Structure 1
Amino acid sequence: MEAVLRVAVRADGPAVAELARASVRELFPAYYDPAQTASAAEHITTLDTALIDDGTYYVHEAGGEIVACGGWSRRNKLFNASTAGADARLLDPATEPARIRAMFVRSDWTRRGLGRAILDACTDAARAEGFTQLALMATLPGVPLYKAFGFTEVESAELPMPDGVVLGAVAMERPVDPPVKEKTV
């Protein structure tokens, strides 16, 4: 069965939220303790409907089920559960990076290129709007995907959840168009 990428719609909300919670519960224990995993499942999996309303959120659907999701934002919010400095202000593409947001893959669909396809779609859309940089706040399970996609670590971070639990994370960036590597002969 093949997964098909499409722009998410409001009706996808409940399925996206369940996918995100299941992904966290299944993938986070390899990186976080039980309290951190439970907190993340509660606080970072809430769908920011502004992403859907803005047309910047994508889902992969297979057999009528959503198996992966993620998107980007032209707004000033870096990740779910963030409130410090976050607002609905539109970012300036000339001076600020577009935000990669809320990437989740169902555990039985990992390592099939779905995350990369979503990142490609996000990058293309951000480029079309004039953005030259991408930024994200990666939870630890996502770091390998983002590194493979050309993101570099800016700094380690600690994400305080609303319940006081803290998650280790990594702030990452990359140019919309990464430098072309020269081929050696």
Structure 2
Amino acid sequence: MQLSIAENMKAFLSAEEVIAAQETMGVDNSLIEDETYFLIETIHDSNKILVGCGGWGKRKTLYGGDHTAGRDDSYGDPAVDAARIRAMYTHPAWVRCGIGSLLLDLGEAAAREAGFRTIELGSTLPGEPFYLARGYKEVQRVTNVAANGAENVVIKMIKNLSVSTHPPKGSEPKGL
């Protein structure tokens, strides 16, 4: 996660903004407890390498790690609440290899299977084009001011799960 945050945001954010973003990112143990978090690994030279992680949440917290303020760990009701795509990270060497698409497909399918009709997420600026391409619509932009004084923009996005938006043919993961 830390490598993904540090490297994948450089082209979009200043060093201070990357630090600010870390206040709303990181491990959320409720995803692990709920068994809604996925790890994507590959093997290179007989060693397992984590190339991506992410998942979905049935709780009301939209984004953030265990340390993030404003969490709501109560469970959402699939009949009225949206599921959440949560904590999506790709190893910098594996960006644009289909890892994010695979994680998103897994999360959306699991949320759909659990009875949720909509799904939402809190996107970073670097993630916004990816989610727009996958059928998510912007609902709101929230600017958080971090402890270091830098701004961190989180884009709340939503998608109807009855609409399937698979990536274009040929964009499936490579090298797995």
Bin the TM-score by the shorter chain.
0.7 to 0.9
Residue 22 of structure 1 pairs with residue 3 of structure 2: yes
Greater RCO (Cα-Cα under 8 Å, separation 6 or more): 2
How far 1:164 sits from its partner (Å)? 4.7
Instruction: Report the Cα distance in structure 2 between the residues aligned to 1:141 and 1:73, rounded to whole angstroms.
Output: 21
Q: Which of 81, 100, 103 is residue 96 of structure 1 equivalent to?
A: 81
1:148 matched residue in structure 2: 133
Tell me, yes or no, if the aligned pair for 2:36 and 2:55 is still in contact at 8 Å: yes
- Count of residue pairs brought into register by the alignment: 159
1:68 maps to amino acid = G
- 3-state SS, counterpart of residue 30 of structure 1: coil
Equivalent in the alignment of 2:169: none
Contact 1:76 1:91 in 2 (8 A): yes
Corresponding residue for residue 49 of structure 1: 29
Residue from 55, 66, 80 that aligns with 2:64 = 80
Give 1:30-179 correspondences, 5 Å limit: 30-41=11-22, 43-63=23-43, 64-80=48-64, 82-84=68-70, 86-161=71-146, 164-178=149-163
Q: Does the CA contact (< 8 Å) of 1:21 and 1:45 recur in 2?
A: no
| Equivalent-residue separation in structure 2 for 1:128 and 1:164 (angstroms) | 41
What are the Cα deviations for residues 85-140 of structure 1, in whole angstroms up to 9, with x where unaligned? x3211101111100111001011101111111111111111111110000001001
SS of 1:47's equivalent?
A: coil
**Structure 2: 5+ residue stretches without partners:** 166-176
Could you state the TM-score of these two structures normalised by the residue count of structure 1?
0.79
Q: What is the TM-score normalised by the length of structure 2?
A: 0.83
What secondary structure is seen at the aligned counterpart in 2 of 1:134? strand
The CA deviation string for residues 165-185 of structure 1, in whole angstroms up to 9 with x for no partner, is: 3212211000112178xxxxx
* C-alpha distance in 2 between matches for 1:79 and 1:131: 18
User: 2:123–2:154: 8 Å Cα contact kept in structure 1?
Assistant: yes
- 4+ runs of 1 displaced by more than 6 Å? none
Say which structure is richer in helix.
1
Q: SS at 2:59's partner residue?
A: coil
Give 1:131's aligned amino acid.
Answer: F
Uncovered stretches (5+) of structure 1, i.e. residues with no partner = 1-19, 181-185
